[in-house]
Structure 1
Amino acid sequence: MRHFIRSAAVAIAMAAASTVSISAAMAADISGAGATFPYPIYAKWADAYKKETGTGLNYQSIGSGGGIKQIKAKTVTFGASDAPLKGDELESTGLAQFPMVMGGIVPVVNLEGVKPGELVLDGPTLADIFIGKITNWNDEAIKKLNPDVKLPDQAIAVVHRSDGSGTTFNFSYYLGDVSADWKSKVGVDKALEWPVGIGAKGNEGVANNVSQTGGAIGYVEYAYAKQNKLTYTDLVNKDGKKVEPTAAAFSAAAANADWSSQTGYGVILANQAGAESWPMTSATWILVYKKPDDAAATTEALKFFAWSYAKGDDMAAELDYVPMPDAVVKSVEEMWGKDIVDGNGKPLYSGM
């Protein structure tokens, strides 16, 4: 029933939007840029959407920082970021922000003989590794967490993002929440002055570097770990429970989120309480102009996002992303109908 209702809504929206937009058959590809975190699911949705409607998606997976810059420069129709903009910035730029999907960030390692999920880390130990305090895999702090794992006497090679990254924002937010040292010495941002390690561009770059470097550790969105067959670690969460990265664990972290409490739905999901919660869970957001210069292009983008909300849940689950709750989707689509308008003040979306 959920898919039927959403599908019906998107069909109505597409019909209504045709009065302010060119037809799908003649439409240029929808242009967007930003976060690498959701790229696997955006690519999967885009492929299915093009087969159904004929309209493609040209999405540049360049990192959240790049996506924010491009939407502000108006070189793309939408930007994508895993680090939400705050209310005052949304207000000053005239941007609308809404969450598209949720997922998990996982530590990934390259240790001979260690299988995915076999190694466990906690937040303070992870922070000490990325701050440069822990430099060897047989450090006592790691051994204490892994009494049954044969840890090598091997230097740790830290791999981090080199670009402005929402994945880094959420990763550093979590580390800042569990480590006073991290918070005071490194901080929380999309781009950091890293104390140690080598930088790589995008989730793709970090995944590639870890896979090619013995003794390496990095952090990527879970889909990248699976696609690249990387060894992910389990984590000890806020409740002191060992958890593995799964869609259920990401959902548990988001279960009590109050999306309406923040302007632009900017809720941070890192380090949420709950015995089953994955501590590095994140949403990813879309940015579009409330009064876009190209109303037709933004209309096409909203049609794609509405279609993804309506028909994309199963595809998201296949890649271990978590769809947004129905109540959030309803609220977002109501916001579209109220706030995103053409030059005459006419709503670009009228599906509700």
Structure 2
Amino acid sequence: MAVATATATAGCQIGQDDGLTLTRGTLSGDVTGAGATFPEPVFQEWVRYYTSAVETGVRIDYEAIGSGGGIEQFLEQAVDFGSSERYLEASELAVAEEVRGCPAVQFPVIFGSVVIAFHDEALDGMVLTAETIARIYDRDILYYDDPALVALNPDMDLPHQEIRPVHRSDGSGTTYVLSHYLATEVPFWAERYAEGTDIGWHEDTLAGDGNDGVTATVHGTEGGLGYVNQSYALQNGLATARVVNEDGVAIEPDLAATTAASDEAEIPGDFQFNLDDIGGEGYPIAGANWILAYECGYDEEVAASLRDFWDWALTDAQATTVATDLGYAPMGPELTARVRDEIARVNATP
């Protein structure tokens, strides 16, 4: 859980004539949020910097419990905002409006990649496809020197070692991003497992709680292979796979490839989208993180702090640097402007 408190002050003007202009150092309020572990590294740094150097009277408490938990707590009104790697669907939006008495607001704040990570650093750069990833998790491909993997990696000396696939044990947006990708690309996966934040995994697989748990299990298991947010792989020095995209190119999951994937997204006005059929230089297993809030019902101090924090996260140069250093791809100017308009809806209904 990331908790940050105030220690310093800064005085300057931000924003433009968009309803979000505030004098720095004037806000106060306790804001609570819960949800995805996918963006936790960048959220931690954003919260720490914002509450110690931007708005020191604000306290933000974010608990990384997984996207499923974040959606649940948001709909139960247990937190001020939720965070998820999938958007709220029509049925969930209806529930949100019913329980709150006003519409929900949801907007993306960051893009990131879901990487396939290995225990063995000698496997760094190994090439995988959607089909081989699906077959590994289906326990059809059992060893690293399976003919299908050898054919993709003719220049690697793959060991005759059992693959120990690791998945998330909690309701997870990271699981949603991976399972959506596999269900889109691999027919048998769509029929047998489908997609979701929590799916019925093969019984002969390992489980870890959160990105931290999967990372630790992969790191500590001979033959371990798992899916995690790119930032966790970077922070823990895990070897990662290159994944073949829609154009048949094996792509390393770096920041440039995540940015290229996000650039291909067609994002509608309701911000309900997936990153599908990624080609070019884009990494194919990529997704966004959404923030979930409401149009009404907040104490005004909380609402002002909530609006300002996310506006700052999208527009401040320091926030952008933090995100890119951790391997996340910020949004472009046009999308940022659209999202800022959505942020301004928070508590806008009397």
The answer for the alignment partner of 1:234 in structure 2 is 242
Residue 114 (structure 2) pairs with residue 72 (structure 1): no
Structure 2 partner of 1:281:
286
- 1:111, distance to aligned residue in structure 2 (A): 2.4
What's the RMSD between the two structures over aligned residues?
2.1
Match of 1:267 in 2: 273
How much has 1:10 moved relative to structure 2? 9.6
Distance 2:339 2:23 in 1: 18
Q: Determine the structure 1 residue equivalent to 2:301.
A: 296
Q: Who is 2:255 aligned against?
A: 247
Residues 1-352 of structure 1: matches in 2 within 5 Å?
A: 7-9=14-16, 13=20, 15=22, 23-24=26-27, 26-28=28-30, 30-52=31-53, 53-54=55-56, 55-93=58-96, 94-111=103-120, 113-114=122-123, 116-117=124-125, 119-195=126-202, 196-260=204-268, 263=270, 265-272=271-278, 274-311=279-316, 312-337=319-344, 339-341=345-347, 345=350
Is the 1:80–1:285 Cα contact (8 Å) retained in structure 2?
Answer: yes
Tell me how far apart the structure 1 counterparts of residues 300 and 121 of structure 2 sit (CA, whole Å).
Answer: 53
Deviation at 1:86, TM superposition (A): 1.9
Tell me, in whole angstroms, the C-alpha distance in 1 between the residues paired with 2:329 and 2:16.
21
The alpha-carbon distance between structure 1 residues 7 and 147, as it changes in their structure 2 partners (threshold 3 A), is: farther
Between structures 1 and 2, the one with greater helix share: 1
Whether the 8 Å CA contact 1:90–1:96 is kept in 2: the answer is no
| Structure 2, unaligned runs of 5 or more | 1-12, 97-102
Supply the distance in 2 between the matched residues of 1:11 and 1:336 (Cα, whole angstroms). Answer: 11
For the residue of structure 2 that corresponds to 1:96, the secondary structure is: strand
Q: Return the alpha-carbon distance in structure 2 between the equivalents of residues 256 and 155 of structure 1.
A: 36
Distance 2:70 2:137 in 1: 26
CA distance in structure 2 between the aligned counterparts of 1:80 and 1:292, rounded to whole angstroms = 18
CA contact (8 A) 2:166 2:206 kept: yes
Contact 1:10 / 1:310 at 8 angstroms: preserved in 2?
no
TM-superposed CA distance for 1:342, in Å, is 5.2
Q: Secondary structure at the match of 2:115?
A: strand
What TM-score results when the alignment is normalised by the length of structure 1? 0.88
Counterpart Cα distance in 2 of 1:138 and 1:110: 15
In structure 2, how many angstroms separate the alpha carbons of the residues matched to 1:90 and 1:40?
A: 28
Structure 1 CA distance for aligned equivalents of residues 133 and 336 of structure 2? 34
Task: Please state whether the residue corresponding to 2:15 is helix, strand or coil.
Answer: helix
Query: What secondary structure does 1:322 align onto?
Result: coil
By how many angstroms is 1:230 displaced? 0.6
Report how far residue 138 of structure 1 moved: 1.1
Distance 1:216 1:279, change over 3 A: same
* 8 Å Cα contact 1:41-1:316 kept in structure 2: yes
Question: 1:62-81 CA distances to partner (integer Å, 9 max, x unpaired)?
Answer: 10000011111111110000
CA contact (8 A) 1:64 1:166 kept: yes
User: What letter matches 2:196 in structure 1?
Assistant: D
CA contact (8 A) 2:122 2:239 kept: no
Instruction: State how far apart, in whole Å, the 2-side matches of 1:168 and 1:296 are.
Output: 35
Count of residues in Structure 1 that have an aligned counterpart in Structure 2: 327
Contact 1:64 1:165 in 2 (8 A): yes
C-alpha distance in 1 between matches for 2:227 and 2:276 = 14
Q: How far apart are 1:325 and its partner, in Å?
A: 1.6
Contact kept? 1:288, 1:298, Cα under 8 Å:
no
Q: Decide whether the 8 Å contact of 1:47 with 1:56 is kept in 2.
A: no
Identity in percent:
33
| Runs of 4+ more than 6 Å apart | none
Contact kept, 8 Å, 2:298 with 2:347, in 1: the verdict is no
Counterpart AA for 1:157: R
Cα distance, 1:341 vs. partner?
2.9
TM-score w.r.t. structure 2 length? 0.88
Partner residue in 2 for 1:350 = none
Measured in 1, the distance between the counterparts of 2:89 and 2:289 equals 14
